[in-house]
């Protein structure tokens, strides 16, 4: 059974083709710069990586080019059985993946009010794919769904209740497929049932979110109504005093678009360091003595630690802490720094396993009261599984 997973951005289209009889990815890649004079299409087909520069005026041409390559190299005449779509925001309505109908696409477009940078592109990707595969089931998998049932007190903001109700203003949380995936893998690593575990999952990448997972369910998470809240990220500011926004708008003469741009694209690691949003470059600059890069790096690890401490109380204890995504999976420094101040919880990191191990593994010592794991995330596989389900 072949399942195509699509993740559409405003000028990009990522794809992954899974053979779900074996749960393996057989092709993946991405079209970038869609709509510009020269777009890029990178495909890894049957282990063979190829990159082309070609005009891709819209997502439709991008999908056609992807399908042409898939059919020539791996699919041949085998049909695609289902398409799974990554959708960032499911609003208050969707607490689970859903078979796409016209109503669902209209809802996704409507929820652009909470995710203006993502949902319009996600809806466009779905419409394009439905034209290409009109007779195949399409499934929308929401980043917010895993957090749909967090308790009311963990999601309400301290603004007038009527306004929260009127506009659906509340914490929704994101990276849900990732948190769900790594929590389940962590239970397997511990050889214990997920439904009996208290796990704090740390997705630390360009976007970062931490999640308190109780018995397999999200109880709280650091991102909010939008992915701007919580820990500082590559270019996003994370939680700040809302008065900073008012002040900057007034004194820097910024309108709504300019302040949104500043907080989403010019802040976080990039804004503090002035070096880069890429953590590898931050680490390099910090190690060479760049004070602002050090400050950015230290704030990131401090924020992650703050959330872990906070979620230990949300869960009333912790069995496992899991690191995932680009930084969480690869930065030995970040994991060591975060865990160094968690000794009060009984965390004992095994420096050898932290520094020299590879892939999915336990990185705490055998007498650590809390098991610490590294689990590379696989959101695409989760989406394919949801499509099959
Ligand atoms: P996204 O949120 O876009 O999916 P990723 O999860 O791929 O992002 O994370 C990207 C981040 O991971 C970048 O900041 C990158 O510098 C960082 N990263 C990737 N590899 C390493 C590494 N070996 N050491 C430290 N950071 C890394």
pLDDT at position 30 is: 96
**78 in helix, strand or coil?**
coil
Order of strands across the sheet that contains 361-362: 217-221, 208-214, 198-204, 320-324, 371-374, 361-362
The vertex-283 CA angle with 280 and 285, nearest 5°, equals: 110
List pocket residues of ligand 1, CB cut-off 6 Å.
205-207, 234, 278-280, 325-327, 330-331
Ligand 1: centre distance to CA 313 (Å): 29
Closest residue to atom 3 of ligand 1, CA basis: 206
379 in a labelled binding site: yes
Domains of the chain: residue spans and CATH: 2-147 (3.30.420.40), 194-379 (3.30.420.40)
Ligand 1: centre distance to CA 123 (Å): 27
Active site residue 319: no
pLDDT at position 183 is: 98
**130 in helix, strand or coil?**
helix
Nearest one of 201, 223, 186, 224 to 315, comparing CA atoms:
201
Choice among 19, 107, 143, 298 that is catalytic: 143
Closest residue to atom 12 of ligand 1, CA basis: 326
Ligand 1: centre distance to CA 277 (Å): 10
CA dist., res. 328 & res. 317, Å (int): 22
pLDDT at position 77 is: 87
Element (H, E) at 52: strand 48-54
Q: How many residues does the chain have?
A: 389
Kindly report, residue by residue over 5-15, the tens digit of the pLDDT.
Answer: 999 998 999 99
Ligand 1: centre distance to CA 196 (Å): 31
Kindly report, residue by residue over 104-142, the tens digit of the pLDDT.
Answer: 999 999 999 998 889 999 999 999 999 999 999 999 999
Q: What is the DSSP string of 200-237?
A: EEEEESSSEEEEEEETTEEEEES--SSTTSSS--SS--
Low-confidence residues of the chain: pLDDT under 70: none
86 in a labelled binding site: yes
Residue 246 — left, alpha, or beta (φ > 0 → left; ψ -120 to 50 → alpha)? alpha
Q: Are 336 and 346 in contact (CB under 8 A)?
A: no
pLDDT at position 229 is: 97
Q: Which of 32, 176, 206 to mutate to test the pocket of ligand 1 (most atoms within 8 A of CB)?
A: 206
The burial class, CB within 10 Å (0-12 / 13-18 / 19+), for 32 is middle
Q: Within a 10 A sphere around the Cβ of 260, how many other Cβ atoms?
A: 16
CA dist., res. 25 & res. 42, Å (int): 16
Q: How many Cα neighbours within 13 Å face the side chain of 14?
A: 9
């Amino acid at each position: 059974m072949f399942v195509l997973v699509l993740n559409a951005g405003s000028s990009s289209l990522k794809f992954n083709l899974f053979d779900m009889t074996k749960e393996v990815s057989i092709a993946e890649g991405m079209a970038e710069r869609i709509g510009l004079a020269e777009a890029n299409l990178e495909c890894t087909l049957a282990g063979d990586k190829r990159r082309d520069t070609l005009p891709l005026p819209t997502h439709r041409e991008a999908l056609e080019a992807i399908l042409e390559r898939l059919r020539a190299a791996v699919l041949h005449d085998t049909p695609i059985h289902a398409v799974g779509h990554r959708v960032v925001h499911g609003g208050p309505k969707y607490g689970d993946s859903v078979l796409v109908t016209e109503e669902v696409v209209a809802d996704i477009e409507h929820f652009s009010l909470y995710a203006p940078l993502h949902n319009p592109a996600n809806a466009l990707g779905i419409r394009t794919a439905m034209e290409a595969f009109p007779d195949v089931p399409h499934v929308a998998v929401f980043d917010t769904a895993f957090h749909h049932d967090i308790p009311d007190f963990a999601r309400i903001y301290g603004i007038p209740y009527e306004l929260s109700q009127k506009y659906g203003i509340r914490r929704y949380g994101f990276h849900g497929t990732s948190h769900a995936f790594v929590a389940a893998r962590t239970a397997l690593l511990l050889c214990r049932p997920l439904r009996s575990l208290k796990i704090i999952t740390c997705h630390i990448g360009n976007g970062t979110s931490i999640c308190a997972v109780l018995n397999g369910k999200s109880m709280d998470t650091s991102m909010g109504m939008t992915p701007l809240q919580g820990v500082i990220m590559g270019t996003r500011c994370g939680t700040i005093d809302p008065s900073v926004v008012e002040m900057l708008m007034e004194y820097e003469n910024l309108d709504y678009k300019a302040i949104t741009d500043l907080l989403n694209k010019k802040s976080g690691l990039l804004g503090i360091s002035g070096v880069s949003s890429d953590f590898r470059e931050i680490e390099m600059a910090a190690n060479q003595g760049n004070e602002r890069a050090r400050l950015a790096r230290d704030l990131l690890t401090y924020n992650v630690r703050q959330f872990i401490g906070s979620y230990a109380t949300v869960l009333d204890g912790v069995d496992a802490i899991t690191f995932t995504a680009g930084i969480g999976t690869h930065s030995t420094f970040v994991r060591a720094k975060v865990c160094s101040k968690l000794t009060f919880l009984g965390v004992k990191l095994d420096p050898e396993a932290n520094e020299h191990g590879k892939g999915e593994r336990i990185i705490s010592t055998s007498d650590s009261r809390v098991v610490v794991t590294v689990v590379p995330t696989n959101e695409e596989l989760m989406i394919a599984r949801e499509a099959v389900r």
